[in-house]
Homo-oligomer: A and B are copies of this chain.
Amino acid sequence: MSTNFDIAQLRSSCATCSLRELCLPVGLNDQEVHLLGEVVSHKRKIRRGGYLYHTSTKFQTLYAIKSGFFKTCILEEDGRQQVTGFHMTGELLGLDAISGDLHTCDAIALENSEVCEIPFAKLEEISRTIPSLMRHFHRIMSREIVRDHSIMLLLGSMKAEERLASFLLNMSRRFAIRGYSETSFILRMTREEIGSYLGLKLETVSRAFSKLQHETLITVNNKHIQILDLDRLKLKMGNTSCLT
């Protein structure tokens, strides 16, 4: 909450956690880090199952995930929900709210999590004086668009097993980027949520997991996944360059 903070601490937090997305690759000087610190200093904790934000929420805030795991989803009027993304430690959340004054989806914590709130207006303001920050922010937005296009490719033309392989490889890569193991990780979401994201029913997801396990490509222990053969898994997903 306080705007009083330690630059060294911010720098190190940039290097290790949530703010890396936003400022690590930019190469800011001390004064710029100071400015940015004022913007990102507000922390917030969300318990497992809790909402980070709701559809139609008005406040325009971005969130850098300091620790934890989220899903974003659209709730249809008939009750079903479509998962539009999963978001892990170090990633940025809330880009959808910029288009209008309202969020267009719900963001729900899949485990106890902590985020930094980033008032978007303030970020715009200081990024005007720090071109590299603005550039970096634009790249993040564009990357989101590109990722969504890969998902469209996946949903539009891949079959169940390819989708799951694609998904696992995407998760693997994102864990690797954050410094976690790329072959052994816990998927916080349920089979149903994976299914919703991949355009499949939960039973189909489960079957696909089993199939990949029988082929000794992965080991499945409920939510704990171990990838036994990354290369062979890549072949599985077809020759597509999917899920950026």
Contact = CB atoms under 8 A, between A and B. Distances in A.
Please state the number of chain copies in the assembly.
Answer: 2
Interface stretch (A18-26, A107-115, A143-151, A206-214): A143-151
A20 to B, nearest CB: 17
Contacts of A142: 95-99, 141
A36 B82 CA distance: 40
B131 A99 contact: no
Contacts of A196: 156-157
Contact of A157 (B105, B199, B240): B199
Interface residues of A, number: 47
A244 B55 CA distance: 14
A74 to B, nearest CB: 6
Contacts of A80: 157
B139 A82 contact: no
Q: Which of A104, A128, A135 has the most CB of B within 10 A?
A: A104
Interface in A139-169: 139, 141-146, 148-153, 155-157
Contacts of A100: 139
Contacts of A240: 76-78
A84 interface: yes
15 contacts: A77-B240, A80-B157, A82-B156, A84-B149, A95-B142, A96-B146, A99-B145, A104-B146, A124-B135, A128-B128, A141-B141, A141-B145, A156-B196, A156-B198, A157-B199
